[in-house]
Structure 1
Amino acid sequence: MFIPIQFSSQNGFATFYTSSLSLIQKIMKLDFMFPFERNMYNMDILFNDKSSADCFDNWISIEDIVGSVVSNRLNEKLELDLSNLCNDTEFSQKGLCFYRFNLLSFFKILMLRMGRDTKFLNLSRNNLSQLPMDILNFFIKGNLIGINLSNNNITSLSELQRYSSKIEKIWLEGNPVCEEMDAPTYIRQIMMKFPRVTEIDGVKLNENGLILPFIKNFAVTPDRHTKMLVEKFLSLYFSHFDHSRIRIDKFYNSPASLTITTAFTPEDEKLLPSSFAVDGRNMIKIMDRRLNRKEQEMKLNKKYFNTKKQVIDALYRFPETVHDPTTFCVDVVSKDINHMLLIIDGVFKVTADIPRNVFRFRRTFLFVTTIQNPTTCYFIRNEMLHLDYASPEMIQNSFLQPSRNLYDYALINPDPEEKNIVTNAFCYLTQLRKDEAVSRLKTYDWDIKKALKFFQQELKSDLIPMDKFEMDLDEGHLSDEANMDEVD
């Protein structure tokens, strides 16, 4: 196969120049091999003594073009953006059809050089049907810590081997593989392949626990792009709202507004967090006959927050919460290039010690768009929040799948098989008898990490009788801090 990268065409004839005699010989041989069943167009070969500069002003190769395109996509932060590579304008200008992304792996010298320095690799929007292992191998062995594979057509991670790599951040959203797996399987498969990952699809797992992806129940199933947008908003917004509201202002634009309505009796309000009464408009008391209309309006206006600062201050006053994403019912009422209207119903609980701490909510968000080339950003322009007590049925069916930190080694409501696996691992690491291992794990709520920590402390202090062990114990081996750190 040969690919002319610079040629001129006129009246259906294409002309290109080459100084390679071996290529001409191959073409001539091919031409004579199939005189009656030709698989190519008629070709005339003209010999002359022109140089490439005479024909095309300068000599250029495929390696030069590809090297120029790839090098220009590496920025000062060592982020290599290879997204939508095959459609790069320089390829089309040079008449080079770079029709398949995996062809990049043939430029080994370029890949070795780029793979050594690159820290973040963006492979999004390349129509990949599977992971480009022949390309990834050049980067995984270097300083790569982040990889973006979003918005491709990847259907499986099975061909990906487990890497003892430095990968900490990975993006896979927008691929069929994300839609075909439930939340635990999705995260587990990624972490099996990349054991050091701390952030998936833009959400930090090591800070806020298992917060991605939510289990969502769309009342109206949106298109693929809208679904991705909504899922990312739900993941980021409620993780920040429940754990740290420092960054929550990033979701709102400057002229944002907020209203909070409640339906609590005066007796209930005495037992609730003060912000529910201070910032909320109580629909039960809204028609207080003791106040005239003007006084009622003045009272309500004080609970309408119409600047970004007022909105954020009100949300900061909101008590600490824990939302149950499995209860969320999500509906995208409308979406166009200018706005999106989103309604979310669900259940949350207040961490404060109050008699009734589980509530139902409805949050209505109106998003407006802002163009920040080359992306479109969505910001909350208006929000309406309604609060009420959750019904007994809601309470019974919520918080059945507690969120937890993936880096904790604790079991939550473990079944017998899980208990047996952890017990065997603990026995192997400590050489304790099985009954003693079970007793210790129960004491620390089946948290093997915590149980090992206290086992090490007791072992160093010689507080564990020898009859607790299954066999003779090499105390020096188990008390070695380096070994225990490796286990940790």
Structure 2
Amino acid sequence: MGNNRERNRRQDMYKSRGGRRGKDFRNNRGTQNFGTNNLGWHKILIRDGSSLDKREVLESIRSLVQEQFTPMLFEPEGKNLVFYLEDNGRAAQAIVEINRRLTMPNGQRLIIWGNRCSPPNRKIPENQHDRLKRIMSDRYSPELKRLDLKNFHNDANLVKEGIFCPLYRQPNMQLVVDIIVGYIPLVEEIDLSYNKIHCFDELARIVTTCPNLQKLDLGKNKILNIDSLDKLAGLSITELTLESNPLCDKFRDTETYISAVRKLFTKVICLDGQQLPKAIGFEVEEDVSKMPDIQRAYIQDANVKDLVLQFIQQYYRIFDTDNRRPLEAAYSENATFSFSCNFPETGPGARYTNIYLTDNRNLKKLTPSDRRHKLVYQGRSIILNYLCRLPYTVHDPLSFCVDVPVADPKLIVVILSGVFRQLADRNPPIRSFTRNIIIIPEGSGFCICNEQLYITTATIDQVKKAFKTPVVSTAQSSEPDTSIPSTSTVPEQSQPPSVPQSAPDPGQQQAMVVKFSTESGMLPQFSQLCLEQNGWDFNKAAVMFSQLKMENKIPPEYFAQSVS
């Protein structure tokens, strides 16, 4: 009994797996079931058909099959002949049903198999690239500047040429975009509907390479959500079609859908063939997407410009000496001053920082409130005592950036930033500083009533640009210059090699141009112009350059532009 039950069980399993009495797909015994879904890909195989004429085989099949179909990649595969059908399950079913009913002129009966399959994945060989360009050219309208790539891989000429180019495959999209960018970058309209596209990694290149694109049709594709379109954000298109994509069903109402699209494509006025209502917001008419040019200095009132520059010049002529006492006259009787800094705890940037950390009023690192109050110095003599305790320094006037956001007859606010070198025994570190100064009129002049000084490590870029023009430190001078400075806005500079009174010979001139260009950062032709206008006096030209740069009067194009 046990043996009979086991034998019956195995027979039942054999039949259920397609045994002799079950349905046999390979020999087509029984009727194949392709299901009720007409979508997807099907592979049709004609056994031992590689030697047959493809045209005769196709005509014979169509003579018995009423369903219309377009064979894709009709080609030999070993001894067999194969082709693919896309979204045509009924035709695939009908073709398989004529298995063994067709006989070719050579007497061979066609054995036809069929089954569902994944989309074929074929790389387009290089010898077909020119043919692809020609076919795309036929689909481009120069008059309308319109490229029609609708249902592209089913193009009759592509099928005839044996080129399979579905645009949902990224390598194929890359090739098509290369052709667009290389041959028709001024295209104004592209139709990519009915291509099952779901990814836009390659198509994203048209954002920067096709500036005139106005219309884009992405309807009837496989775009799952609105985030898939992020890579196309920035296109200046005015008309967009997304209908019949899965993403359209994910919005609760039309307003939400329109709002999501407008966040990515701000200039769209027609969506899915419908004119959009004017967006409600606080937009201004002019284009504000471009950031304004960077200004080296902002001075709210041009009338105070000379006053502020002269004040800064005189201040640092005295500050960069070993006797800062004359600066006491620059502060009002009850002036206030505070100092804060931030340095790394280790590394080169931490060298020579202990003297700063003692009186550091950095509120992020200083918690006791009484200590915060004690570190606010009040009174000109107390302030000067502190300034005299600071290390000797030499500042780079070419690094100075001056902003005067407030300029009133009774109050001037000055924000000054730049770099300085702390004098040390060796390898003096370069620091960055920012001074916030409030100046008020006092007597016949002006004095500082409030100042905040902040010091930190200079950035790599600041270090590279610092002290391009040599500056002489006067820290060892016991008698600093306390007079009103001249029109030059920088401390005295080191003297270059002596220049003869007469114009130097061409070789010397070229050497001076190279030296001046290296130290100033200006292009050689403008360095030569500066030297010529100052009679080839290197020192005089350097002073004039420093003054004009301080006043932000040298155009940016005079300097070499860095390439990122």
TM-score normalised to the size of structure 2? 0.31
TM-score normalised to the size of structure 1? 0.36
Larger Rg: 2
